[in-house]
Amino acid sequence: MTKSLLTTSASPPFTKEQVRSSFNKAADTYDGVAILQQEVCERLLERLDYIKVEPQMILDLGAGTGQGTLGLAKQYPNACIVAMDLAENMLKKNREKLSSQFGLVQKVKTLFNSNQRHQFVCADAEQLPFADASIDLIFSSLTVQWCLDLPSLFKEFRRVLKPGGLLMFTSLGTDTLNELRASWAEVSDKIHVNEFIDMHAIGDALYNAQVEDPVIDNERIVLNYQSIKQILIELKAVGAHNQNSGREKALTGKKRLQAMYQAYEKFRTQEGYPVTYEVVYGHAWNPKTPIQNTCSTDGDKQTSISLAQLKSSLASRNTKS
CA distance readout (Å), 279 to 10, 163, 175, 276, 301: 27, 28, 9, 9, 40
Q: Is 47 within 8 Å of 281 (Cβ atoms)?
A: yes
3-state secondary structure of 200: helix
Cα(first)–Cα(last) distance of the chain, in Å?
A: 42
CA distance 106 to 111: 9
Domains and CATH numbers, the chain: 5-174+196-221+278-316 (3.40.50.150)
CA distance 152 to 205: 9
Overall size of the chain counted in residues: 321
8-state DSSP, 186:
T
By mean pLDDT, which of 124-138, 269-283, 299-313 is the weakest?
299-313
Of residues 92 and 112, more confidently modeled: 92
Of residues 308 and 89, more confidently modeled: 89
Q: Predicted confidence band at 113 (pLDDT cuts at 50, 70, 90)? A: very low
Residues 142-155, mean pLDDT to the nearest whole number: 94
Q: Which of 3, 49, 94, 63 is nearest to 283 (CA)?
A: 49
Note the pLDDT tens digit of each residue in 209-268.
Answer: 999 999 999 999 999 999 999 999 999 999 875 555 444 544 467 899 999 999 999 999
Note the pLDDT tens digit of each residue in 186-211.
Answer: 998 888 888 899 999 999 999 999 99
3-state secondary structure of 290: coil
